[in-house]
């Protein structure tokens, strides 16, 4: 009897919990919905009727989107292109070169390796503001201010976490596999690319996701390094629109923001399992 009672009260408390969570869930999605609603509103109504549906005279149709892509004297599609190029190129370079270095560091126990490893671990606790000015000057004097060369800067500044995660994983791979490879006549380079590299896949995904999330959303580093008149990433472009006070078209800005978060949300829904796993791994290790 008492048992049944407690079962019933447990059922009820679970239901209350479900309702509370559902309400929080709706509140959580609301900001994104607000962006979508306001991207279809005429500029003057965004500020006065932020929470209203874009009906009647407020409706702007796709006018905001048409205006948004040419907004601020800079084509939006260019910034999408540059963001994509920078993110993919940097992530690719980081994955390839840091996994190579991490394997070498984990397997060869020399003084140089130790020095590089500890410098990398140290670099993880250094905030960007510490090197902000000198890094942008160094990059400038080496002409690294294009989307095709900025990956060098990302590889340098972002190497720490990647090497740390890869080295940790390599240490858990039994040496016997590589010993078997070397008895079969694999040289060092082939050993890495055909034996070790495929085994690194889970860490590759975790590191890759962390780097993509960082670089795609990064604002200050590309802003200081890139030649801003020619190359703007999406965050830089959006910051630029808002920076010119008074003349900002809020409706068009919301249209741009909507266009820039839709691919991110699609990417998230497509590989959320990997993303959540990668983030948890990075947090626990970093």
Binders in 113-142 for other proteins, by CB under 8 A: 113, 116, 119-120, 123-135, 137-139, 142
Residue-wise DSSP of 205-274: HHHHHHHHHHHHH--HHHHHHS-TTT---HHHHHHHHHHSTT---HHHHHHHHHHHHHHHHHHHHHTHHH
As a whole number of angstroms, the distance between CA 90 and CA 278 comes to 18
Q: Is 144 a binder of other proteins (CB under 8 A)?
A: yes
Would you say 34 and 53 are in contact if contact means Cβ atoms under 8 Å apart? no
What are the residues whose beta carbons fall under 8 Å from the beta carbon of 42, sequence distance 6 or more? 57, 58, 59, 60, 63, 251
* Pick 38 or 203: Cβ nearer other proteins: 38
Max intra-chain CA distance, the chain: 80
Name the minimum Å distance from CB 280 to other proteins. 5
Find the binder of other proteins among 200, 235, 249, 255 (CB under 8 A): 235
Q: Is 195 a binder of other proteins (CB under 8 A)?
A: no
Find the binder of other proteins among 4, 189, 201, 246 (CB under 8 A): 189
C-alpha closest to that of 102 among 197, 211, 202: 197
Would you say 68 and 260 are in contact if contact means Cβ atoms under 8 Å apart? no
* Pick 81 or 264: Cβ nearer other proteins: 264
Name the minimum Å distance from CB 8 to other proteins. 16
Give the rounded distance of the alpha carbon of 239 from its chain centre: 18
* Pick 174 or 198: Cβ nearer other proteins: 174
Q: Is 268 a binder of other proteins (CB under 8 A)?
A: yes
Q: Is 97 a binder of other proteins (CB under 8 A)?
A: yes
Name the minimum Å distance from CB 171 to other proteins. 14
Name the minimum Å distance from CB 38 to other proteins. 7
As a whole number of angstroms, the distance between CA 89 and CA 95 comes to 10
Find the binder of other proteins among 40, 71, 74, 154 (CB under 8 A): 154
Q: Is 1 a binder of other proteins (CB under 8 A)?
A: no
> Restricting to residues 13-72, which ones interact with other proteins according to CB under 8 A?
14, 17-18, 20-22, 24-25, 28-29, 31-32, 34-35, 38, 46-48, 50-51
As a whole number of angstroms, the distance between CA 10 and CA 131 comes to 55
């Amino acid at each position: 009897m008492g048992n049944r009672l407690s079962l019933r009260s447990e059922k009820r408390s679970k239901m209350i919990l479900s309702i509370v969570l559902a309400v929080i869930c709706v509140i959580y999605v609301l900001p994104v919905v607000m962006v979508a609603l306001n991207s279809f509103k005429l500029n003057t109504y965004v500020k006065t009727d932020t929470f209203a549906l874009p009906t009647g005279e407020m409706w702007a149709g796709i006018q905001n989107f048409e205006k948004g892509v040419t907004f601020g004297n800079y084509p939006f599609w260019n910034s999408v292109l540059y963001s994509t190029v920078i993110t993919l190129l940097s992530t690719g370079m980081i994955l390839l070169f840091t996994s190579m270095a991490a394997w070498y560091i984990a397997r060869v126990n020399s003084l140089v390796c130790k020095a590089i490893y500890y410098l990398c671990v140290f670099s993880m606790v250094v905030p960007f503001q510490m090197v902000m000015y000198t890094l942008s000057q160094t990059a400038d004097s080496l002409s690294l201010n294009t989307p095709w060369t900025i990956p060098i800067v990302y590889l340098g500044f972002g190497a720490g976490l990647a090497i740390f995660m890869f080295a940790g994983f390599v240490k858990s791979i039994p040496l016997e596999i590589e010993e078997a490879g070397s008895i079969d006549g694999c040289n060092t380079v082939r050993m890495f690319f055909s034996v070790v590299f495929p085994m690194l896949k889970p860490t590759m995904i975790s590191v890759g996701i962390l780097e993509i999330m960082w670089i795609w959303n990064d604002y200050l580093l590309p802003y200081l390094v890139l030649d801003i008149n020619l190359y703007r990433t999406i965050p830089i472009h959006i910051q630029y629109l808002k920076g010119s006070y008074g003349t900002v078209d809020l409706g068009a800005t919301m249209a741009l923001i909507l266009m820039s978060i839709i691919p991110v949300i699609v990417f998230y829904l497509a590989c959320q399992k990997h993303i959540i796993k990668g983030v948890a791994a990075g947090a626990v290790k970093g």
